[in-house]
Amino acid sequence: MLRMISTDSLKTPNIFFTGKGGVGKTSTACAIAVALADQRKTVLLVSTDPASNVDEVLENEVGTSPTKIRRIENLWALNVDPDVAAEQYRERMIGPYRELLPEAAIASMEEQLAGACTVEIAAFDEFAKLLGKPDLVEKFDHVIFDTAPTGHTLRLLTLPAAWTGYIGNNTAGTSCIGPLKGMIAQQKLYARAVDVLKSDSLTTIILVARPEKTALEEAARTSEELEGAGLQEQQLVINGVFDQSANSDPLAHAFYTRGDLALQNIPNTLTKLKQNRLPLKSGQLIGINSLRGLLSDGDLPAIQPDSFAGILPPSVDTLIDKFSSLKRGLIMTMGKGGVGKTTIAAKIAKSLASQGKDVLLATTDPAAHIRQVVGEGSKYLELAEINPAVEVERYRNEVLSTTGANLDENGRALLEEDLSSPCTEEIAVFQAFAKTVETATEKIVVLDTAPTGHTILLLDAAQSFHKEVERQARMVPQHVLELLPRLRDADFTFPIICTLAEATPVHEASELQNDLRRASIHPYAWVINQSLAPLTTNHPVLSSRKNQEHRYIREVCDQYAQKSFILPWLEEPLASENSAKTENCRHIA
């Protein structure tokens, strides 16, 4: 039985939505914002997602200050643009010193603020202003945060305590996020933000998932981590629950069975939360009326048949055939979280290994579920993962034993404080990423990368963090120097953009492609995953969603992809092909 969301349960002024990428956080957050505004509550919807699509869902351009939404009273929205915030943050930190310090000192400070960590702390700085300064949002009854995919959300929501601790422990006078004096000025603001987050009367966390095993497990992990951080007031929304309605259609039955199995085995952590279930609807969740319809009992208007201009893209098996002559090289599956990068990477890796090719399937995604997806390994298939905790410890020991070996006590203390920076994790992961790419000179490496924002940070690291590596280790490892040339070598690296035949995943994938091209990295192909288009169904909801896919498949083929392939919706997860546990696993060395 579906339990629809009741806005009566949302009493707190601050409401956060979080969940695995692709589960419908933005649509649900926007629908709740509209519902509260319809009740004459004044609402501010805030996106802190680097890949925000609030503009698209609301059909309204949204700026970096509260923007009034057309066609509805009482609703405003704003985007926190991490890049703009980072530039403003850098100048706020460095500006006061430009006339006081030598040019070399300013250059050093600018270098310290060149990393992706600066983007995160700058975005948090904006986020903290809203939580820590009530006067900025006192005109609103509710502030709703449409947060980023789960990994980024956890970083964002745990930044207050992390940075506050770093400020308190730093004695060297500088950090990778700016001069210590500049950080102390924000300490009270950050402390206030922490208090607001932990207050049951001020903040509610809404975890969003789909009736899928991995999405529910991710929601459970998120719940536990946030509860451990002191965020107790939590609710659960399960989006897209499919009702078979006694339909005999085989695809509808398989669709229902897969979702029902996941719901029957919901993790215990989630059973303790207030739970709401939203049905899978026929129409698109774009526009104010559609958002109202998401929380209603009725269905959305069905999408009518639209003849596809031309044949569908070939199967992903055709893509794999193109790699049959490959003996070495790097295949990277890339895209927003939730589009099935892991499934596609695993399918490619397993297929190539079945041909007797030596294949390494690796992940840099902190939210990956690679073991569930791959199943049993073979003598030709090796699994590896980059564990951030392991890499940080290895990196710290490496720097302390080299650069730190000949330093006096004060110099070593300064180096240790520098290595306490959150940037250290990103540098360490970046080095491990580079080592994985180096492995592709000897075998085929299939790299299952992280959700879009994190992927861009990793690729940005290839260009930006070599300066930080050189500053701390006094040398740039050979595999780091060779990383970007290898990523740009079209005969060595084969980036595959993964998407779904839906509006937001396609548009975000096109933005990812643009970012890659600006770095002179050109995608080899696109894969449209979990598609209903090649399948047959007479269920009205599935038929409508199948019809809806055609326009986005055309968009990919006509506007974005030089080569495009399709992977149909799978009745069983890829892992079910082999039920035994993977034995041939290791961490990246």
Secondary structure (3-state) at 4: coil
Asked if 267 contacts 220 with a C-beta cutoff of 8 angstroms, the reply is yes
Q: If you search the block for the tokens 């005999």, which residue do you land on?
A: 248
26, 175, 343, 564: which one is catalytic?
Answer: 26
What is the C-alpha to C-alpha distance for residues 205 and 202, in angstroms, rounded to an integer?
A: 10
Residues 6+ apart with CB under 8 A from 267: 216, 217, 219, 220
Q: Which residues of 400-430 are buried (b: 16+ CB within 10 A; e: fewer)?
A: beebbeeeeeeeeebbebbbbbbbbbbbbbb
Query: Judging by DSSP bridges, how do beta strands 585-587 and 381-385 pair with one another?
Result: parallel
For 563, the token pair is 């080569």
Q: Is residue 22 annotated as a catalytic residue, yes or no?
A: yes
Q: Is residue 27 annotated as a catalytic residue, yes or no?
A: yes
19, 21, 24, 404: which one is catalytic?
Answer: 24
20, 49, 67, 531: which one is catalytic?
Answer: 49
For 349, the token pair is 């890796």
67, 174, 421, 504: which one is catalytic?
Answer: 504
Q: Is residue 222 annotated as a catalytic residue, yes or no?
A: no
Backbone dihedral region of 127: left (phi > 0), alpha (psi from -120 to 50 degrees) or beta?
Answer: alpha
Secondary structure (3-state) at 563: coil
What is the C-alpha to C-alpha distance for residues 343 and 584, in angstroms, rounded to an integer?
A: 18
For the purposes of burial, counting CB atoms within 10 Å of the CB of 162, is it exposed (0-12), middle (13-18) or buried (19 or more)? middle
Q: Is residue 49 annotated as a catalytic residue, yes or no?
A: yes
What is the C-alpha to C-alpha distance for residues 358 and 378, in angstroms, rounded to an integer?
A: 10
DSSP symbol at 82: H
Of the candidates 502, 551, 491, 555, the one whose C-alpha atom is nearest the C-alpha of residue 524 is: 491
Measured over the CA atoms of residue 166, residue 167, residue 171 and residue 173, the dihedral's sign is: positive
For 495, the token pair is 């980036």
Percent of the chain as helix, strand, coil, to the nearest 5 = 50, 15, 35
For 24, the token pair is 């419908």
Amino acid at 564: S
Q: Is residue 146 annotated as a catalytic residue, yes or no?
A: no
Q: Is residue 26 annotated as a catalytic residue, yes or no?
A: yes
22, 132, 283, 453: which one is catalytic?
Answer: 22
How many other CB atoms sit within 10 Å of the CB of residue 522? 13
For the purposes of burial, counting CB atoms within 10 Å of the CB of 68, is it exposed (0-12), middle (13-18) or buried (19 or more)? exposed
Q: Is residue 24 annotated as a catalytic residue, yes or no?
A: yes
What is the C-alpha to C-alpha distance for residues 165 and 431, in angstroms, rounded to an integer?
A: 26
12, 18, 27, 449: which one is catalytic?
Answer: 27
Catalytic residues: 22, 24-27, 49, 504
